[in-house]
Homo-oligomer: A and B are copies of this chain.
Amino acid sequence: MDNHNEEIVPEMCKVTDALGILVGKWKPVILLHLLKNGTQRFNELKRSLPGITQKMLTNQLRELEEEDIIERKVYAQVPPKVEYSITDYGTSLEPILHAMHVWGTNHTIHKQTKRNNQAEAK
């Protein structure tokens, strides 16, 4: 048995680092859109994200690009054309997003069940 047990030591925990990349009101949805639909132009994304402002979209995309999760490709055209896509490295996030989605789905059920139980216990 080798000695790299996988216990997380809170003091050197990287969970927050990982979270930092996912957090932001719009980042998960942006990632899911890019994962599902592949390469997208700026305004395509914008139309898929009702309510987002251009500034927010730009911000979130830049932050994801900074982390090497997505790629930004600018075409030298007028009017401008900019395409966004998930990098190969970025796809390594997919299992986590998926796990969170599954957990989140179950959690909504869990909470509903709990509420019902509490209601009938009165």
Bitwise interface map of A from 10 to 49 toward B, beta carbon under 8 Å scored 1, else 0: 1001111111011101001100110110000000000010
Beta-carbon contact of B19 and A100 below 8 Å: yes
CA distance A118 to B19 in the complex (A): 25
* Chain A interface SS verdict (over half): helix
Knowing A8-B32, A8-B98, the reply to whether A14 touches B104 (Cβ < 8 A) is yes
Q: How far is the CA of A6 from the CA of B102 in the complex (A)?
A: 9
Q: In the docked arrangement, what's the CA distance between A26 and B19, Å?
A: 12
A residues with a Cβ closer than 8 A to B are 6-10, 13-19, 21-23, 25, 28-29, 32-33, 35-36, 48, 67-68, 89, 92-93, 95-108, 110-111, 114
